[in-house]
Amino acid sequence: MADGKILPAAFDVEAANQRLAAMTAPERIGWALEHLPEAHIISTSFGIQAAVSLHLLTRQRPDIPVVFIDTGYLFPETYRFADELTERLSLNLKVYRPDISSAWLEARFGKLWDEGTDGLDRYNRLSKLEPMQHALEELQVATWFSGLRRQQSKSRAATPFLRFQQGRYRVYPIADWNNRDVWRYLKANDLPYHPLFEQGYVSVGDVQTTRPLEPGMAEEDTRFFGLQRECGLHTSL
């Protein structure tokens, strides 16, 4: 793999992952910003550990677009957390929403999340995937950063540092971080967890599909009633 700018068509993702494995998270971000094509974005749900990736990215690219999908069903604490981090980190926030409001969605389709995996898939497509696809197209995204970690769930256990998926590069700079790494970074940089962390939440999405962690539960059981872990943003798109 050459050291200079690398054209997507000639990019060796497997070799890049080997190289990235020996780097720190900030080094991975610097490498990706230098070598991977524009436009770059980072997506966030303003979840439990959101401050880590947002801080890491904006230290090197302060104006990077931060894409946030507002489903209309987020916790009040999430909206306030989004406001707090946006102001504190001077985020270039780009908010995208479904084509119809949450009230209209329920009037038209009912409570899709109560209809098993098929209903959840349809709900996630309408409220999350379609707005994200709109963001990717409108911003002409070629490189997409996000904060997935292998420790978060079985479905993320094999997350690489870099993948090429559906015509875009996906970069996961903290894929190998564990929960203690997250805590150390937040503490060292005086950054907060999501407010609901103190109430036992280890992952935060929509109000109706998120539960706090209880004894005997795996972390992935706290989302989507334990039926699935992923909404599709990091698998379908």
Q: Which residues are catalytic?
A: 231
Tokens describing residue 51: 């401050």
Angle at 32 between CA 61 and CA 84, to 5 degrees: 35
Tokens describing residue 35: 């070598």
Q: Which residues contact 32 (CB under 8 A, 6 or more apart)?
A: 40, 143, 145, 162, 169, 171, 173
Q: Which residues contact 188 (CB under 8 A, 6 or more apart)?
A: none
Q: Where are the beta strands (DSSP E) in the chain?
A: 40-44, 65-69, 92-96, 143-145, 162-165, 168-171
